[in-house]
A = this chain, B = another copy of it.
Amino acid sequence: MIIAIKRGAGAAEVEAFSALLEKRGVGVHLSRGTGQTVLGLVGDTTAIDAETLLAHHLVEKVIRVQEPYKRANRLFHPDDTRIEVEVPGGFRRVGGGCLGVMAGPCSVENRDQIVAVARAVKEAGAGFLRGGAFKPRTSPYSFQGLGPEGLDLLVEAKKETGLPIVTELMDIHHLELFEDVDIIQVGARNMQNFTLLRELGRGGKPVLLKRGYASTITELLMAAEYVMSGGNSRIILCERGIRSFDPYTRNTLDLSAVPALKRQSHLPVIVDPSHATGLAWMVPAMAKAALAAGADGLIIEVHNNPEAALCDGEQSITPEVFASLMGTLRKIAAIEGKTIEGKTL
């Protein structure tokens, strides 16, 4: 961290300020030029808050050279992290050359629906079944998901197909209901629900952490750091669109987040083209683009009857479209020397 001191600051007060900083456990290297005095902080500066420093009357600007995250930082963990989930006869993996494709309906609606979709996406080559039991909805009057019953139905679909399941946790006090869930999703609106993140850090289940729709790359990695600081490093990051000024798509899928996150962090990064665009017809194009950009996987909404879906039907593709898409995705994966984990066709 580098601190530019305001012009005209006296030597004594700058030294007193340096001493104050050293008490916080960092080394301070003072450099006084003709036009500018600069303090260089060395050591672990993650606990030093740049904004707080700016309150000091001597401080002109602060520049962070070291990132504020440690455990999520590729600098200290150069190899890709691979998340592994047990499946009958082995493991399903995401990261480090293994692509995870998670597919299924926005909401679990009933047994027939979830089992039918699970079979269809497995057949097409998906590696994981996604489906919502607890749904965060903007309106209190909208369908909020089946709740615990939805979880039970997901587990039944898992038994039927062998597909590991991914579903969203909205309230940490539901955690015990999630025992048979393979990957716990933290939704975009909860990315900075620090209470939730801390608790998930104490457990050992993989966490699918979605980027908030107005969160920066750094904030997403700091959210991961909350989980990791509790001891749980099994995290999959997920880009799902950010808010912009153009209403054409629901959100703006920020695919540059993929190479950005993979450069900054060793954690796997997947993409959700369904929620990002909100438009079923656009999902295949953006799914292909995500893999070409280097994503470690995808999470895609597939519904056997999108028109009758209880939520988000406008962004769900049919099993037929999904199967066709998977064919192209395998070709793109092959170009990059990667493999989509799932049923071998």
Question: Once the chains are docked, how many angstroms separate the CA of A31 from the CA of B213?
Answer: 38
Assess the B52–A65 pair: CB atoms within 8 A: no
Question: Once the chains are docked, how many angstroms separate the CA of A141 from the CA of B198?
Answer: 12
Question: Once the chains are docked, how many angstroms separate the CA of A60 from the CA of B1?
Answer: 12
Chain B residues with CB below 8 A from A65, complex form: 4, 36, 60-61
Assess the A49–B142 pair: CB atoms within 8 A: yes
Question: Once the chains are docked, how many angstroms separate the CA of A212 from the CA of B293?
Answer: 23
Residue of B nearest to A59 (CB): B314
Assess the B288–A260 pair: CB atoms within 8 A: no
The smallest C-beta distance from A262 to any residue of chain B, in angstroms, reads 9
Given A276-B256, A312-B52, A46:B4 Cβ within 8 A: no
Assess the A136–B194 pair: CB atoms within 8 A: yes
Question: Once the chains are docked, how many angstroms separate the CA of A292 from the CA of B325?
Answer: 12
Q: Could you mark each residue 292-318 of chain A with 1 if its beta carbon is under 8 Å from any beta carbon of chain B, else 0?
A: 111000000000001101111111100
Q: Could you mark each residue 17-31 of chain A with 1 if its beta carbon is under 8 Å from any beta carbon of chain B, else 0?
A: 000000000010101
Assess the A263–B281 pair: CB atoms within 8 A: yes
Point out the residue from B33, B57, B194 that lies within 8 Å of A307, measured CB to CB: B57
Q: Is A139 an interface residue (CB 8 A)?
A: yes
Assess the A255–B335 pair: CB atoms within 8 A: no
Question: Once the chains are docked, how many angstroms separate the CA of A65 from the CA of B6?
Answer: 9
Report how many copies the assembly holds.
Answer: 4
Question: Once the chains are docked, how many angstroms separate the CA of A260 from the CA of B277?
Answer: 10
Number of A positions contacting B (CB below 8 A):
103
Question: Once the chains are docked, how many angstroms separate the CA of A33 from the CA of B65?
Answer: 14
Question: Once the chains are docked, how many angstroms separate the CA of A218 from the CA of B139?
Answer: 10
* Interface positions of A (Cβ within 8 A of B): 2, 4, 27, 29, 31, 33-36, 38, 40, 42-43, 46-47, 49, 51-52, 54-57, 60-61, 63, 65, 68, 136-143, 170-171, 173, 189-190, 192-195, 198, 212-214, 216-219, 222, 225-226, 229, 242-250, 252-256, 258-260, 263, 276-278, 280-282, 285-286, 288-294, 306-307, 309-316, 328, 331-332, 335
Point out the residue from B63, B229, B246 that lies within 8 Å of A4, measured CB to CB: B63
Chain B residues with CB below 8 A from A29, complex form: 31, 33-36
Point out the residue from B33, B68, B136, B216 that lies within 8 Å of A246, measured CB to CB: B216
Residue of B nearest to A282 (CB): B259
Question: Once the chains are docked, how many angstroms separate the CA of A306 from the CA of B303?
Answer: 49
Question: Once the chains are docked, how many angstroms separate the CA of A56 from the CA of B306?
Answer: 8
Assess the B259–A252 pair: CB atoms within 8 A: no
Contacts A/B (CB < 8 Å), 14 sampled:
A2-B61, A29-B33, A34-B42, A35-B42, A49-B143, A217-B246, A242-B246, A244-B244, A246-B254, A249-B260, A256-B285, A258-B285, A288-B292, A289-B289
Point out the residue from B49, B142, B225 that lies within 8 Å of A47, measured CB to CB: B142
The smallest C-beta distance from A300 to any residue of chain B, in angstroms, reads 15
Assess the B139–A306 pair: CB atoms within 8 A: no
Chain B residues with CB below 8 A from A198, complex form: 140
Question: Once the chains are docked, how many angstroms separate the CA of A246 from the CA of B262?
Answer: 16
Assess the A139–B288 pair: CB atoms within 8 A: no
Given A31-B31, A31-B40, A138:B222 Cβ within 8 A: yes
Question: Once the chains are docked, how many angstroms separate the CA of A281 from the CA of B315?
Answer: 33
Chain B residues with CB below 8 A from A195, complex form: 170-171
